[in-house]
A and B are shown apart, each in its own frame.
Chain A
Amino acid sequence: MQITVTLNGRRCTDEVAPDMTLYSYLRQKGCYSVKCGCETSSCGLCTVHFDGKPVLSCSMLAVRADGHSVTTLEGVEQEALEFGKFLADEGGEQCGFCSPGFIMNVLAMVKELPDPTDEQIKHYLAGNLCRCTGYQSHLRAIKKYLAAKQKEAVR
């Protein structure tokens, strides 16, 4: 099957097998931030943006991406770096394994909910599992990041 995907802003045309996952395709294209952390569609590590919305690349087939745009961490380096600083400052990056999927979902959340409550943050990020932090540092990092963004917007 031939597919044409806008991957991190670049048009790519490739031949893919009918059962290739979007996850495998992205790795093949050199997007090594994308990882697979479970076999059960439930950890969130493989999160990428599909037409701007967060999806599980492990569960979606590459053929479905034909004619769509896909963004990985490699495509949002600046924003990822900006949020990553808050995450590191709050001790929210321990082993760091969950970070790529987590950061992608935080960036999707910020676009969808400009001023989320704590409950909304927890709800939006419930599908990103982290074995190290206990999530409190994640929550602090997000709140400080949102506050900093708001301050910037006022200025």
Chain B
Amino acid sequence: MFSAQQYVKATSLQQALELNQKRSSAILGGGCWMRLGKKNYATLIDLSGLGLDTIEETPEEIVLGAMVTLRQLETSPVLAAAFGPLFARMTEHIVGVQFRNCATLGGSVVSRFGFSDIITGLLALDCEVELVQKGRVSLADYVQMPYDRDVLARVILKKNGRRAWYESFRNTETDLPVLNCAVSCLNGSARVVVGARPARAVMQEFGQMPSEQRLQEMLDKTEFGSNMRAGAEYRRQLAGVLCRRAIEQVKGDAECR
């Protein structure tokens, strides 16, 4: 467990950003990951008073606050209407319901874990993050950026009719994924995302749903690694199986054949 000297419930995002410039400060998400560490923080900054726990829909976008919980993503009718079971599938195996009622979207996106189900799922969509200092950045760029002291305020999803499907594999329920992937399609073009390699997710765009051969070419170029959960070669095999399953699901949609 971490320790902290001071707790500030931020009254504005600007204040949160200013307080977070000190290296001894931290934004408090759900605290589920921070709890595993033993850091000593001078100041914990809480965003829970800023109304960032909502999922809002505009004609073009769905705007998710940083404090939205994983359970909200899993059960949101708005997200289900726009993207089918994508959000339920990418969150439902993460520890348990109680955990998902605590862990936040903001903490998950900022952390950019290699194993992340959330990052892999979101990369399949047309997704931007809204940072207090840097403004809007595409998620694809954000995952490449170094960790810094900016504050993530929102995640924005374009409502453009993109179809997506999510697959993951775990050695046992509630464990971290051995591998995960997402496939999506918009106006005939496709995107394949492979994560938990175990390194950070990679993605590739295709002019049309990839054939068996095109998919194989992508996976041949993709690096897979070994850790206590699985070996690199096993992950490579698994990636082929999961991507094919996801492609079949997306192809079920008339517009994506």
**A residues near B, CB below 8 A?**
1, 18-19, 21, 39-42, 44, 47, 50, 53-56, 58-61, 63-64, 105, 108-109, 123-128
Instruction: Find chain A residues with CB under 8 A from B174 CB.
Output: 42, 126-127
**B residues near A, CB below 8 A?**
1-7, 9, 28, 30-33, 35-36, 41, 44, 46, 48, 71, 92-93, 95-99, 101-102, 173-174
Residue of A nearest to B98 (CB): A54
Q: Is the CB of A44 within 8 A of B31?
A: no
**How close is B210's CB to chain A, nearest CB, in angstroms?**
32
Instruction: Find chain B residues with CB under 8 A from A1 CB.
Output: 7
How distant is the Cα of A53 from the Cα of B69 in the complex, in angstroms?
12
Query: A42 contacts which of B7, B97, B99 (Cβ < 8 Å)?
Result: B99
How distant is the Cα of A127 from the Cα of B1 in the complex, in angstroms?
20
Instruction: Find chain A residues with CB under 8 A from B4 CB.
Output: 18-19
Residue of A nearest to B94 (CB): A127
Q: Is the CB of B5 within 8 A of A56?
A: no
Residue of A nearest to B173 (CB): A126
**How close is B220's CB to chain A, nearest CB, in angstroms?**
35
Q: Is the CB of A127 within 8 A of B2?
A: no
Residue of B nearest to A1 (CB): B7
How distant is the Cα of A50 from the Cα of B2 in the complex, in angstroms?
22
What are 18 of the A-B contact pairs (CB < 8 Å)?
A: A1-B7, A18-B5, A19-B7, A39-B36, A41-B35, A41-B36, A42-B95, A42-B99, A44-B96, A55-B102, A56-B32, A64-B48, A105-B98, A125-B96, A126-B93, A126-B174, A127-B96, A128-B96
Query: B44 contacts which of A18, A53, A58, A123 (Cβ < 8 Å)?
Result: A18
Instruction: Find chain A residues with CB under 8 A from B99 CB.
Output: 41-42, 56, 59, 127
Known contacts A42-B99, A108-B97, A127-B99; can you find 18 more A-B pairs with CB under 8 A? Answer: A1-B7, A19-B4, A21-B35, A39-B36, A47-B98, A50-B101, A54-B98, A55-B98, A55-B101, A56-B98, A58-B35, A59-B32, A59-B35, A60-B31, A60-B102, A61-B28, A126-B96, A127-B98
Instruction: Find chain B residues with CB under 8 A from A127 CB.
Output: 95-99, 174
Q: A64-B46, A127-B96 are contacts. A53–B30 as well, Cβ < 8 Å?
A: no
Instruction: Find chain A residues with CB under 8 A from B5 CB.
Output: 18
Instruction: Find chain B residues with CB under 8 A from A39 CB.
Output: 1, 36
Q: Is the CB of B48 within 8 A of A19?
A: no
Q: A18-B5, A63-B7 are contacts. A44–B46 as well, Cβ < 8 Å?
A: no
Instruction: Find chain A residues with CB under 8 A from B6 CB.
Output: 18
Residue of A nearest to B100 (CB): A127
Q: Is the CB of B98 within 8 A of A44?
A: yes
How distant is the Cα of A55 from the Cα of B96 in the complex, in angstroms?
10
Q: Is the CB of B102 within 8 A of A56?
A: yes
Query: B102 contacts which of A19, A59, A124, A126 (Cβ < 8 Å)?
Result: A59
Instruction: Find chain B residues with CB under 8 A from A109 CB.
Output: 97
Instruction: Find chain A residues with CB under 8 A from B102 CB.
Output: 41, 55-56, 59-60
Residue of B nearest to A17 (CB): B4
**How close is B20's CB to chain A, nearest CB, in angstroms?**
16
Residue of B nearest to A62 (CB): B7
Q: Is the CB of A61 within 8 A of B97?
A: no
Instruction: Find chain A residues with CB under 8 A from B46 CB.
Output: 63-64
